[in-house]
Amino acid sequence: MEDRRDRAAGNGTLFGKLADGTEVHRWALENGGTRLKVLDYGGVVQSLEIPDRHGHHRNVSLGFDTIEDYVASSPYFGALIGRYGNRIGDGRFTLDGTPHRVDVNDGANSLHGGGRGFDSRMWDVEPFTQGSDVGLYLSRTSADGEMGYPGTLEVKVTYTLTERGDWRIDYEATTDRTTVVNLTSHVYWNLAGEGSGSVHDHELWIAASRYTPVDSGLIPTGELAEVAGTPFDFRRAKTVGEDLRVAHEQLLYAKGMDHNWVLDKGATAKPLPVATLRDPVSGRTLRVSTTEPGLQFYSGNFLDGTLVGTGGNVYRQGDALCLETQHFPDSPNKPSFPSTVLRPGQTYRSTTVHSFDR
């Protein structure tokens, strides 16, 4: 008989306290061989353990042991990102003729919702068991004007661990005033194990024939450029490090790769496969499916050796990478990009599924 404890969502336990005394809790989920620990601060995935080909579990996501580290120095480790994932140029956009100014926190630009985006807010968390699945409902209300964004946004994010060990994220949002929304998750992946060193030998496939080149501030120019003949061509799986040091202007701007790939499938009603990441040594493989039209591949360029993670190891450049499913950066200022506008009466929906093999 199957052991039901493998699917028990469990109760939140105290992880720490914020400076104002707010308690931060951690929930532990386990199902299908995948183990997930989640904080109600930022919806952060503090750890995600999956087995290798020999059945040995390791945490494959970067994170911290204390809430103080998340507050003081986290580069979005494992966090939910909003209201707007990625960058908005100059922190400005216009909706229906009305100009809006949002919080600027990345040079002249707004990044991941501003200096206090969804990644550093408290979320309400409710565990659930549904059939053979377990998970967490995470919700919060983003007030009208939060970080400069118009409209009161009601947000619900569902983390589900399935019977086969897939980690599914479902996003929903509604607004009482026209606004822009682009939600994503910012897990830093190292399939060899957190703190094990560079991911440059990981093999990556991305189902995209085009990407969006950026200027020196990492804001898309508006061009949808062909990946053919460039370091950005992952239509055939290759190692992350194969072309990372090619003398290409785009790589110089980002100190590596920090770009949006235009997925060949476009936006879809159901999640479809868009990327595969594999560590050839452990055999651990991550397969990403999404409804989103874009994927931001970030090669960990700004990890600078100043952060100590959950395993007691220092994180250096290239020690992890991110695969952020999304709409395109700066879409509110690029009418030719898929729209991120959400109006009253509409519901924002997005789904991404992370499947694990070995």
According to DSSP, the residues that pair with 37 across neighbouring strands are 28, 47
Nearest in space to 299 (alpha carbons), one of 230, 250, 333, 352: 250
Q: Domains of the chain: which residue ranges? A: 4-357
Q: What is the pLDDT of residues 319-347, one digit of tens each?
A: 999 999 999 999 999 999 999 999 999 99
Q: What burial class does residue 265 get, using C-beta atoms within 10 Å of its C-beta: 0-12 exposed, 13-18 middle, 19+ buried?
A: middle
Assigned fold of 4-357: Beta-galactosidase; Chain A, domain 5 (2.70.98)
Q: Is 4 left (phi over 0), alpha (psi -120 to 50) or beta?
A: alpha
Q: Is the pLDDT of residue 5 over 80?
A: no
| pLDDT for the residue 96 | 96
According to DSSP, the residues that pair with 261 across neighbouring strands are 211, 295
| pLDDT for the residue 317 | 96
Q: What is the pLDDT of residues 131-182, one digit of tens each?
A: 999 999 999 999 999 999 999 999 999 999 999 999 999 999 999 999 999 9
Q: What is the pLDDT of residues 199-242, one digit of tens each?
A: 999 999 999 999 999 999 999 999 999 999 999 999 999 999 99
| pLDDT for the residue 116 | 97
| pLDDT for the residue 1 | 24
Which residues are known to be catalytic?
186, 324
Bond preceding residue 210 cis, omega within 30 of 0: no
Q: Is the pLDDT of residue 10 over 80?
A: no
Cβ–Cβ < 8 Å for 329, 260:
yes
From residue 216, how far is each of 109, 207, 249, 255, 345 by CA, in Å? 12, 26, 9, 11, 38
Tokens at 237, concatenated: 């799986």
Bond preceding residue 83 cis, omega within 30 of 0: yes
Tokens 């970080």 found at: 147
Q: How far apart are CA 53 and CA 74, in angstroms?
A: 31
Cβ–Cβ < 8 Å for 300, 317:
yes
Q: How far apart are CA 205 and CA 160, in angstroms?
A: 25
Q: What is the pLDDT of residues 40-97, one digit of tens each?
A: 999 999 999 999 999 999 999 999 999 999 999 999 999 999 999 999 999 999 999 9
Q: How far apart are CA 231 and CA 259, in angstroms?
A: 12
Return the HEC string of 185-254. EECCECCCCCCCCCCCCCEEEECEEEEECECCCCCECCCCEECCCCCCCCCCCEECCCCCCCCCHHHHHH
Instruction: Say how many CA atoms lie within 13 Å of 332 toward its Cβ.
Output: 29
Helix (H) or strand (E) holding 174: strand 167-175
| pLDDT for the residue 283 | 97
DSSP-assigned letter for residue 68: H
Helix (H) or strand (E) holding 71: helix 67-73
Contacts of 21 (CB under 8 A, 6+ apart): none
Q: Is the pLDDT of residue 8 over 80?
A: no
Q: Is the pLDDT of residue 303 over 90?
A: yes
Q: Is the pLDDT of residue 3 over 80?
A: no
Q: What is the pLDDT of residues 231-283, one digit of tens each?
A: 999 999 999 999 999 999 999 999 999 999 999 999 999 999 999 999 999 99
